[in-house]
């Protein structure tokens, strides 16, 4: 079978996340698998398997999700892309399809992922961006938040920022950078890392917001990391503010 790689964009507002689930077909992965299986006249009992680079949560968006799948077809990569876009819902789109190396895997071979979290701080109502912003509508001390990010960079055990209390695999992750960009209307937090735990970015955002509010010492991140206790970190920020922007491979 030929191995293919595609880039997918989606508005995650009305979906139960990327990963397919047994009790619903309302996931991004399920939508893609259903259409690809139909394209090759396959059986629903043996669907085409689609693997995403990141398992985004319910309500989280993507501009540069990378996915990989194997199948036999006479269609060219562009024809596969066009077939998908013809039958996918309007809030899911495939921007490109290409033949990948036989051993390429979208998740296991990923070397860097970039997520963007947008916080709205002004008082106006943003009609066209409301599904992609956390409407915090308050002031935050971004200087203090930037101090806190320094302690979070690098390779650490991020168990305190993991949303899965039953996580048995390693919770050590490498965070290359956190950029905080402030404009008159919003505060954007960009997270660049090797990989992320469940809800990790959103818990980091919730914790940094508490720093910005003055509720948490910006120099307490090292202690929080060492505690390895989710209960000590901040709340999980709303999903709608988060977008998977890009996935890179060595």
Task: Let me know: does 231 contact 41? Beta carbons within 8 Å.
Answer: no
Structure tokens at 231: 């209960």
Closest by CA to 150, choosing from 131, 123, 127, 178, is: 178
| Separation between Cα atoms, residue 242 and residue 198, nearest integer Å | 13
Among residues 11, 41, 49, 57, the one annotated as catalytic is 57
What is the count of structural domains for the chain? 2
Would you give the DSSP letter of residue 206? H
pLDDT digits (tens, 9 = 90+) for 136-185: 988 899 999 999 999 999 999 999 999 998 888 999 999 999 999 999 88
Q: Is 188 noted as a catalytic residue in this protein?
A: no
Give residue 219's domain range: 110-249
Closest by CA to 65, choosing from 79, 45, 50, 80, is: 50
Task: Let me know: does 139 contact 123? Beta carbons within 8 Å.
Answer: no
The reply to whether 137 and 18 lie within a common domain is: no
The reply to whether 78 and 129 lie within a common domain is: no
pLDDT digits (tens, 9 = 90+) for 45-104: 778 999 999 999 999 999 999 999 999 999 999 999 999 999 999 999 999 999 999 999
Structure tokens at 201: 């970015």
Q: Note the residue count of the chain.
A: 250
| Separation between Cα atoms, residue 29 and residue 187, nearest integer Å | 31
Q: What's the predicted TM-score (pTM) here?
A: 0.94
Q: Is residue 105 part of a domain?
A: no
The reply to whether 152 and 91 lie within a common domain is: no
Q: Is residue 104 part of a domain?
A: no
């Amino acid at each position: 079978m030929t191995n293919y790689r595609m880039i997918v964009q989606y508005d995650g507002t009305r979906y139960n996340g990327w990963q397919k689930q047994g009790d619903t077909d309302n996931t991004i992965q399920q939508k893609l698998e259903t259409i690809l299986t139909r394209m090759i006249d396959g059986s629903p009992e043996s669907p085409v398997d689609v693997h995403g680079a990141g398992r985004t949560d319910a309500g989280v968006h993507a501009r540069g999700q990378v996915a990989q799948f194997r199948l036999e077809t006479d269609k060219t990569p562009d024809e596969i892309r066009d077939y998908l876009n013809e039958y996918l819902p309007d809030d899911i789109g495939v921007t490109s399809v290409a033949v990948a190396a036989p051993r390429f895997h979208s998740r296991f071979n990923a070397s860097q992922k970039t997520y963007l979290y947008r916080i709205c701080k002004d008082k106006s109502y943003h009609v066209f961006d409301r599904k992609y912003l956390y409407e915090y509508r308050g002031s935050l001390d971004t200087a203090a938040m930037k101090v806190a990010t320094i302690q979070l960079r690098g390779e650490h055990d991020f168990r305190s920022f993991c949303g899965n209390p039953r996580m048995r695999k390693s919770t050590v992750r490498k965070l290359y950078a956190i950029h905080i960009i402030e404009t008159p209307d919003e505060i954007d937090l960009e997270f660049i890392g090797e990989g992320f735990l469940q809800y990790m970015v959103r818990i980091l955002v919730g914790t940094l917001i508490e720093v910005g509010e003055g509720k948490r010492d910006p120099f307490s991140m090292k202690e929080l990391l060492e505690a390895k206790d989710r209960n000590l970190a901040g709340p999980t920020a709303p999903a709608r503010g988060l977008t998977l922007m890009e996935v890179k491979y060595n």
